Chains A and B, each alone.
Chain A
């Protein structure tokens, strides 16, 4: 009795305190449930004529921008600082506050940043991030600000590239770089295997035959490598499907479209290379970074890649540019394209938006200046000659390609097969990452299970992707 008598008030107090705490936390949590006013983009409402005018050189603003090169990239950082100085000659009152991020974007960090609304005024994204950014109400509609006066080379920009940065006709970003996928080859291994690196494979039967010969070199050498983890397997299945003229989702974007003869052909070919030919190495479940290591160490003959994979291998893995070449994606019906861009944070002042566009234009979109100052890039000891970025058309493209070729620091002939056979780019499917997760399972099954039933795998994946698309 005594015990319960003394405990009851304490318990009561404890319950009261717990209830009060829970209520306080719940209130706090409910306050955290942010929602913008009406979603009509009221924050974007601007005077169109005023917005269309270029930035007044007297404007005084401070801009925060991510993806400034880290201190370890001395030459790139030096160029960034030089460009800020030159930009300030015209706009002396615009302060550029660069934020060093290396790498420029990591998906988990990026997702958290958007959720916390802590992105800088000008922030780096991948082409595929637009929906995610808009879902988080994170970017300004810059349609009214971007025109031939604010971005003079706009008319010669590849419209396909600009299209991926638009939704419902509104423009939300400006490109920084773009790529299309092709077949990356290891030239020394090709030569060792008696293959001609200047005539790389262009079809899957040719890839299979070449992989077999390279793998026959022994000593753990693989002829062809493929991803099957971290959603990268699904990403490459998509690229391969595009190359053969197939698709991942139907035109309406509501049904899977890969469970067909093309999809089966891709899986059967990979399975044959992995298990019948033993030309893909024993180690599987690879993701981005793994194949690059294999190739840089001279143990891999080919894999599907973008040109900047070579830069990664040279800068991080001690590889040499002259050892690599690129061919178009086997099949050449279409190729997956991607890239990166800058978007402008929603809610910042029109002057800041204008200043941001002026900076992006100066640093990333002016032929002969900023990132396109190829003579300076060469003088600073940085590589010139990769077929990337590649978003110019018309006269600008002609002049740009000439300048890049004139300053090239690598044997650009190694990329001739890739550049001479330009394949139509195709964007990623809707719900890309969720679909890639499903297709990762398919790829990992084919590459780790000798008895995998490719037809069954595609059937199951199709059902799962249909479900994902139905849940949009």
Chain B
């Protein structure tokens, strides 16, 4: 049975009359639409106000701030000088190098490890709930508590990691106090703190894969690795892509972990990140203009990733 067509159910709308006054009818339609959607608009007001005040307004304000500076108690137009300042600051390039290094390492560890953990968890038939809880527990800890825990682990004098290394006869490491290992140490701590959420998302995606696909692969003689490569990865590709982008966006804004673990910059500035530099400009140097300029640079870069994320999200909806 086909659906009733418009022509069968009601008369067609009258043809537009060129001589008839259009505005009152538009107004009436508008009023009617407004009345119909009044409740929805009412519900939206709170959210719109909140976003306007705490998200959109600060973003627009930041744009203006990037072209201003304070001089003798006055706000004056700064032109591009805030951008010149940040590009000439040696810490700018160091912060970007460090941030990209953190992002790269965080993707290697923070992207692969949760996926592997999810794969392993997916294979368990019993106690899966408890294991999920165990994996998710670090996310529930306050970030500061987790970071301080790792600060203790990494201490070269009395830290747990060096004691463990010593117990098995391996040489002690400097962890956060060496330019070679500082960033990796920060990434390990960050991965432990944040992998729970990603693991659960991967696990949900894995559980959505029809079992018949694995059975078919098994019949074709596929081993574990081939099943992962030819069934699991293609079936979860979209989720993996979305998570990859989300992680890039999140890791490029890293702040708490290096700030608390290494006091900000770390040994010879090895853990100074872009967001920390923004914080330093604003709250240590009282240079809001340069902080806003650097914020804009970061915004432009992250906007690119966000656009890709939105595209992928739409693709997943369709």
Q: Is B7 an interface residue (CB 8 A)?
A: no
Question: By the criterion CB–CB under 8 Å, are A135 and B71 in contact?
Answer: yes
Over the window 68-102 of chain B, the binary record of Cβ atoms lying under 8 Å from chain A Cβ atoms (1 yes, 0 no) is 10111111100000000100111100000000000
Q: Is A4 an interface residue (CB 8 A)?
A: no
Q: Is A22 an interface residue (CB 8 A)?
A: yes
Q: A111-B286, A231-B284, A437-B280 are in contact. Are A284 and B265 (CB under 8 A)?
A: no
Q: Is B32 an interface residue (CB 8 A)?
A: no
Question: By the criterion CB–CB under 8 Å, are B61 and A29 in contact?
Answer: yes
Q: Is B117 an interface residue (CB 8 A)?
A: no
A114 nearest in chain B by CB position:
B286
Give, as a whole number of angstroms, the nearest-CB distance from B68 to chain A: 6
Q: A30-B64, A111-B283, A111-B286 are in contact. Are A445 and B75 (CB under 8 A)?
A: no
Q: Is B124 an interface residue (CB 8 A)?
A: no
Give, as a whole number of angstroms, the nearest-CB distance from A271 to chain B: 14
Partner of A285, one of B56, B158, B177: B177
Over the window 387-427 of chain A, the binary record of Cβ atoms lying under 8 Å from chain B Cβ atoms (1 yes, 0 no) is 00000000000000000000000000000000000000000
Q: Is A268 an interface residue (CB 8 A)?
A: no
* Across-interface contacts of B286 in A (CB, < 8 A): 111, 114, 132, 135-136
Partner of B57, one of A29, A34, A107, A284: A29
* Across-interface contacts of A471 in B (CB, < 8 A): 85, 88
Partner of A29, one of B63, B157, B279: B63
Chain B: how many interface residues by the 8 Å CB criterion?
Answer: 45
Question: By the criterion CB–CB under 8 Å, are A440 and B265 in contact?
Answer: yes
Give, as a whole number of angstroms, the nearest-CB distance from B138 to chain A: 24
Question: By the criterion CB–CB under 8 Å, are B176 and A441 in contact?
Answer: no
Q: Is B212 an interface residue (CB 8 A)?
A: no
Question: By the criterion CB–CB under 8 Å, are A448 and B267 in contact?
Answer: yes
Over the window 163-179 of chain B, the binary record of Cβ atoms lying under 8 Å from chain A Cβ atoms (1 yes, 0 no) is 00000000000101111
Question: By the criterion CB–CB under 8 Å, are B269 and A441 in contact?
Answer: yes
Question: By the criterion CB–CB under 8 Å, are A285 and B178 in contact?
Answer: no
* Across-interface contacts of A26 in B (CB, < 8 A): 60, 64
* Residues 247-292 of B contacting A (Cβ, < 8 Å): 262-269, 279-280, 282-286, 288
Question: By the criterion CB–CB under 8 Å, are B61 and A135 in contact?
Answer: no
A346 nearest in chain B by CB position:
B73
Over the window 154-176 of chain A, the binary record of Cβ atoms lying under 8 Å from chain B Cβ atoms (1 yes, 0 no) is 00000000000000000000000
**Chain A facing B: main interface SS:** helix
Question: By the criterion CB–CB under 8 Å, are B265 and A444 in contact?
Answer: yes
Question: By the criterion CB–CB under 8 Å, are B265 and A467 in contact?
Answer: no
Over the window 2-29 of chain A, the binary record of Cβ atoms lying under 8 Å from chain B Cβ atoms (1 yes, 0 no) is 0000000000000000000110011011
Q: Is B52 an interface residue (CB 8 A)?
A: yes
* Residues 359-395 of A contacting B (Cβ, < 8 Å): none
Question: By the criterion CB–CB under 8 Å, are A36 and B73 in contact?
Answer: yes
A445 nearest in chain B by CB position:
B268
Complexed CA–CA distance, A349 and B179 (Å): 55
Q: A134-B73, A135-B286 are in contact. Are A467 and B266 (CB under 8 A)?
A: no
Q: What are 27 sample pairs from A and B whose C-beta atoms fall under 8 A apart?
A: A21-B52, A25-B60, A26-B60, A29-B63, A30-B64, A33-B68, A35-B74, A39-B72, A39-B74, A107-B284, A134-B72, A134-B73, A135-B70, A135-B286, A137-B74, A138-B73, A220-B158, A231-B284, A283-B177, A284-B267, A440-B265, A444-B265, A444-B266, A448-B177, A448-B179, A448-B267, A471-B85
Q: A29-B63, A220-B157 are in contact. List 14 more A-B contacts (CB 8 A).
A: A30-B64, A35-B74, A39-B74, A108-B279, A135-B73, A229-B266, A230-B264, A284-B177, A285-B266, A437-B280, A441-B265, A444-B267, A448-B179, A467-B88
